[in-house]
Every structure is written in structure tokens, then in C-alpha cells.
A = this chain, B = another copy of it.
């Protein structure tokens, strides 16, 4: 267990890693599973060791809106926030690639802030990075029309998966951007005509 922590969180110091080993549990999730539900009480802070997790915001009608990816070496900022405030989750986390995560009981997450400098830095850094990421999300929906938002969405997937081949259906994209499948199909068709993508079933190939 020590190595997988050290590898994914190289800035954690020795004592912190030992503390994690003693207190955290490792959990496995399969692609498709929902790790955190909106409204659910958060009892753990989640650190990702393996796989990919997508973070969504949901509304009352069950619509979901994709915000960002969680990857190995990262933590769920929201689980930290809700944690300390003893609030229910404001987001939904869905596993999209078989994942292994560390679950840290919430009280420890607070306690370690004072005890482990490297934990403190990690938490602060997590807040900062996610704050900035959410601000970019605000940009994309406040200032941009659906065509540009689609490009932003596709690029985010390209970066995270390090691949120009995006394996996803139009319907899924529509769900995550909170629009309709037809709109996505139309826009993608237009992008294809402009030579920006090649379209296949369940698969969008980005050109360049």
C-alpha cells in the first residue's frame, strides 16, 4: 500500500503516509458506478489512486451537468468541504474508468491539517485548483454558445484521456452539457463538414 500512495502523492511525507496507511481504507469501484450522490452525507474524503472519475452538478429534476475529471493523485474538493461542514454532497461523482480510491474518515482530514504540513499544502492546493477549474466552467457557460462549449468539452476529454479518439455517444454529451441529443448531432455534423472531426458510432475522432 505504501508504494501506491507514494507514487500518486509524491509530496506526502513519510509520517503522513504512515498515518494514512493506518487509518484509510482502499475501495475499488467499477466503471459506471456512482461513488458520491448529491444529497448524500459525506463521511470520507476521497483520494484517487487509479482510474477516472467525473464530477457532476445535478438539479432537482435529475439533470446532470459535467464539471471536471478527478484523476490519480487528486482529491475530491467537495468531499473536503462538505466534510467539515457536515453537509450533504453538492455534487455527484461517477466512475468512468475502473477506480481505486482511498477513503479517509473526515475527522482525520481536519486533524492532519495541523499535524502534517504536506497534508495542509495538499488540501489548500486542491481547493485552489478546483476553484480555478470551476471558474473556467462558469466562463464556458456564461460567455459561450453551445458550439464553443462543445469544443471546450471535447478538448477537456482529449486532454484527460490523452487521446484524440473520444468514445462517447451524442446522447451522453448532450446529458453532460445539459442540452438535447439533436443539438449535439447537428453541431458535430457541422464540425465534421469543417474538417474538425470524423464521426463514428460511439466514437468521435478529433483531427489535429
Contact = CB atoms under 8 A, between A and B. Distances in A.
A77 B85 CA distance: 18
Given A84-B128, A128-B84, A128-B85, A57 B135 contact: yes
A202 interface: no
Interface string A40-84: 000000000000000001010001010100000000011001001
Interface of A: 57, 59, 63, 65, 67, 77-78, 81, 84-85, 90-91, 113, 120, 124, 127-128, 130-132, 134-135, 137-139, 141-143, 178
Given A90-B135, A113-B124, A134-B135, 9 more contacts: A59-B143, A77-B131, A78-B131, A81-B132, A127-B128, A134-B134, A138-B138, A141-B142, A143-B178
Contact of A130 (B124, B131, B141, B143): B131
A175 to B, nearest CB: 12
A82 B47 CA distance: 24
Q: Which residue, A113, A127, A134, has most C-beta atoms of chain B within 10 A?
A: A127
A58 B34 CA distance: 34
Contacts of A113: 120, 124
A91 B135 CA distance: 9
Contacts of A65: 138, 142-143
A137 B138 contact: yes
Contact of A138 (B57, B130, B131, B143): B57
